[in-house]
Structure 1
């Protein structure tokens, strides 16, 4: 199973475990921590990411969070 994961992702199981630990410690509500997580994933995957793409990911995440808050607020009020 781990061989298949490594083959498909190009990451070792050790890399994946480290990323999951970093994921658990990250406060995604803080933009700087979100950006650090994005860069960490990029480095671990050995896939460079441009500042433009990083900004787009952050904007998309923040937009999703806002949409989720609005949706949940409407559900509670109905």
Structure 2
């Protein structure tokens, strides 16, 4: 699904490209019970300042249900080596 929306053009699976790697995001939020909803909101609405000065643009084409699924998938990634 991350390929469907172009997520991997900015996010690496493990390490930072433009934005943080999915494994880095998972490691940061792994023990936060509010993380799935928080990340889904950031996917849809964008954000800035969570990872420095990098801007996560709003992803208006991502549906609410897909944003939730993407957030769960990101959080399921193993920690970076």
> What is the TM-score with the length of structure 2 in the denominator?
0.33
1 or 2 for the larger relative contact order (CA 8 Å, sep ≥6)?
2
> What is the TM-score with the length of structure 1 in the denominator?
0.34
Q: Relative to total residues, which structure has the larger helix share, 1 or 2?
A: 1
Q: Relative to total residues, which structure has the larger strand share, 1 or 2?
A: 2
